């Protein structure tokens, strides 16, 4: 697998106008869906003069690490499975080829559209979700004040922490802290793509951001030390009954815990993130993952053709539903499809699908945080460095006050803007 694409380097100079003898080098962290991906590849190869060679990495930062190694070796992949935020960073750096036909002709969301050209083809949406023990919480507390009261009661009355506040330089912590700021209507950024402004420390935004960090500090009293926790750490705390409420991605806790603790599944309920009193759910973090095509590989045109083929494949929904409850189709039509409705895992957990359908229009990627949802490179870079997760560490581990924490993260964001 480590030699993906080497045959194409030896066989040509990057001009793949006819495609014959070309190998598409494909980098993906979706090894858990390998069987279905291989079936789609098999169908593609029967109808095209290309071969597809996949390098599978483990989930997490290993995709970026492997990409850097391949680029440094002069062997960049033609095709990468990645997030929309990463896609925009690649496009900003001049590394991507447009795949407008694969996106626009297939009616897919178009989060990385630059000057009318599409550079990212979504295959799935993965919304954040809150999970709590319904046997310890008699009902969903919903608001910040009620969560504070109920988490305190759970922590004091049971041998378990009532809540988890994650912090540090991890994706899990970064998404959680960002979502809490959104819950309090903090406008972290403003302005168009070419002139993003940092507004988290301006006027009312600063006041609401300080309130958010103050609430997080209070809730940390009822939480284990979540510094440096990744997704699996929070789920493990739930599974081992060390914590009674966590943030995660979709139904990932259900899929993870079901095998080892099936008795615990019925005690778990999904929920939106807690909201301050009187606030509404306006923006809900949802990862969007899919395909990008680099412009410096040896089979660029073949990679474009594969992206289009993948989205049209009759096995596309099989790929999406290889992890039901965790990943969802990228369109509402897909969400309402027969395949989703008949999926047995989804049928067992209707509350998850109810949440997704009711809040579909609120789902937003971290990328879409410029004016009117314009792509925001500062936000993409901030997520890449997990600045908001780090801000929680400054608050909870470093001893900064909520006010000092807002100043710290604003300064860091301003530094990214000025790069």
| pLDDT tens-place string over residues 252-264 | 999 999 988 999 9
Distance of alpha carbon 165 from the chain centroid: 18
Q: What are the strands, taking DSSP E only, across 85-188? A: 96-97, 113-114, 117-118, 121-133, 166-167
- Global model pTM greater than 0.85: yes
Mean pLDDT of 175-197: 97
Q: Which of 27, 7, 18, 26 is nearest to 49 (CA)?
A: 18
pLDDT at 18 over 70: no
Give the tens place of pLDDT for each residue, 193-241. 999 999 999 999 999 999 999 999 999 999 999 999 999 999 999 999 9
List Cα–Cα distances, 307 to 30, 294, 310, 413, in angstroms: 15, 12, 5, 34
Query: According to the model, what pLDDT value does residue 63 have?
Result: 82
Q: 26 with 9: CB under 8 angstroms?
A: no
Q: Which of 106, 119, 191, 122 is nearest to 373 (CA)?
A: 191
- Within 8 A by CB and 6+ apart from 226, the residues are 164, 165, 166, 167, 168, 173, 233, 234
Question: What is the average pLDDT value for the chain, to the nearest integer?
Answer: 92
Residue 64 binned pLDDT confidence (cut-offs 50, 70, 90): confident
Type and span of the H or E element at 348: helix 344-348
Residue 265 binned pLDDT confidence (cut-offs 50, 70, 90): very high
Give the tens place of pLDDT for each residue, 32-50. 899 999 999 999 999 999 9
pLDDT at 22 over 80: yes
Q: Is 360 exposed, middle or buried (0-12, 13-18, 19+ CB in 10 A)?
A: middle
pLDDT at 133 over 60: yes
pLDDT at 59 over 80: no
Residue 3 binned pLDDT confidence (cut-offs 50, 70, 90): very low
Residue 8 binned pLDDT confidence (cut-offs 50, 70, 90): very low
Mean pLDDT of 414-418: 95
Q: 95 with 80: CB under 8 angstroms?
A: no
Query: According to the model, what pLDDT value does residue 61 have?
Result: 57
Helices and strands of the chain, counted as H and E runs: 20, 15
Q: 118 with 112: CB under 8 angstroms?
A: yes
Cα separation of 78 and 58, whole Å? 19
In the chain, what percentage of residues exceed pLDDT 70? 94
In the chain, what percentage of residues exceed pLDDT 90? 90
Query: According to the model, what pLDDT value does residue 19 have?
Result: 55
Q: Would you state the torsion angle of the CA atoms of residues 325, 329, 332, 335, taken in this order, to the nearest 10 degrees?
A: -50
Distance of alpha carbon 96 from the chain centroid: 20
Query: According to the model, what pLDDT value does residue 142 have?
Result: 96
Would you give the DSSP letter of residue 325?
A: T
Residue 119 binned pLDDT confidence (cut-offs 50, 70, 90): very high
- Within 8 A by CB and 6+ apart from 117, the residues are 98, 100
335-349 in b/e burial notation, b at 16+ Cβ within 10 A? Answer: bebeebeebebbeeb
Residue 21 binned pLDDT confidence (cut-offs 50, 70, 90): low
Q: Which of 379, 372, 389 is nearest to 417 (CA)?
A: 379
Cα separation of 350 and 384, whole Å? 33
Q: 265 with 127: CB under 8 angstroms?
A: no
Give the tens place of pLDDT for each residue, 65-90. 899 999 999 999 999 999 999 999 99
Query: According to the model, what pLDDT value does residue 58 have?
Result: 73
pLDDT at 13 over 50: no
Mean pLDDT of 348-359: 95
Query: According to the model, what pLDDT value does residue 5 have?
Result: 32
Q: Is 243 exposed, middle or buried (0-12, 13-18, 19+ CB in 10 A)?
A: buried
Cα separation of 121 and 126, whole Å? 15
Q: Is 293 exposed, middle or buried (0-12, 13-18, 19+ CB in 10 A)?
A: buried
Strand 245-249 and strand 268-271: pairing?
unpaired
Q: Is 2 exposed, middle or buried (0-12, 13-18, 19+ CB in 10 A)?
A: exposed
Type and span of the H or E element at 396: helix 387-396
Strand 166-167 and strand 226-227: pairing?
parallel
Give the tens place of pLDDT for each residue, 292-342. 999 999 999 999 999 999 999 999 999 999 999 999 999 999 999 999 999
pLDDT at 53 over 90: yes
């Amino acid at each position: 697998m480590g030699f993906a694409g080497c045959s194409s380097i030896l066989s040509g100079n990057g001009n793949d106008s006819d495609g014959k003898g070309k190998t598409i080098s494909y980098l993906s962290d979706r090894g858990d869906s390998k069987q279905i991906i291989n079936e789609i590849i098999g169908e593609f190869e029967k109808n095209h003069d290309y071969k597809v060679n996949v390098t599978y990495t483990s989930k997490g930062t290993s995709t970026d690490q492997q990409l850097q190694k391949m680029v440094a070796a002069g062997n960049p992949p033609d095709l990468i499975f990645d997030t929309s935020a990463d896609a925009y960073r690649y496009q900003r750096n001049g590394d991507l080829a447009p795949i407008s036909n694969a996106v626009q002709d297939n009616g897919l969301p178009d989060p990385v559209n630059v000057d009318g050209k599409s550079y990212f083809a979504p295959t799935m949406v993965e919304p954040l979700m809150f999970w709590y023990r319904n046997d310890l919480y008699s009902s969903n507390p919903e608001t910040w004040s009620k969560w504070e009261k109920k988490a305190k009661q759970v922590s004091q009355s049971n041998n378990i922490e009532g809540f988890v506040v994650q912090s540090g330089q991890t994706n899990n912590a970064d998404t959680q802290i960002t979502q809490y700021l959104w819950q309090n209507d903090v406008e972290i950024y403003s302005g168009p793509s070419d002139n993003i402004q940092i507004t988290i420390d301006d006027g009312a935004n600063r006041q609401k951001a300080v309130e958010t960090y103050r609430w997080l500090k209070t809730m940390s009293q009822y939480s284990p030390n979540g510094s440096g926790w990744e997704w699996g750490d929070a789920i493990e705390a739930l599974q081992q009954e060390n914590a009674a409420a966590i943030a995660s991605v979709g139904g990932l806790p259900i899929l993870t815990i079901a095998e080892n603790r099936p008795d615990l599944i019925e005690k778990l309920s999904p929920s939106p993130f807690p909201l301050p009193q009187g606030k509404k759910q306006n923006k809900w973090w949802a990862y969007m993952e899919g395909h990008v095509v680099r412009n410096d590989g040896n089979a660029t045109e073949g990679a474009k053709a594969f992206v289009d083929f993948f989205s049209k494949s009759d096995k596309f929904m099989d790929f999406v539903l290889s992890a039901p409850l965790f990943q969802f189709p990228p369109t509402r039509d897909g969400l309402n499809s027969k395949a989703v409705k008949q999926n047995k895992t989804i049928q067992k957990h209707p509350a998850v699908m109810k949440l997704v359908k009711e809040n579909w229009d609120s789902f937003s990627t971290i990328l879409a945080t410029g004016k009117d949802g314009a792509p925001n490179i500062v936000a993409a870079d901030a997520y890449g460095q997990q600045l908001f997760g780090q801000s929680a560490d400054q608050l909870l581990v470093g001893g900064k006050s909520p006010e000092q924490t807002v100043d710290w993260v604003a300064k860091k964001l301003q530094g990214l803007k000025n790069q």
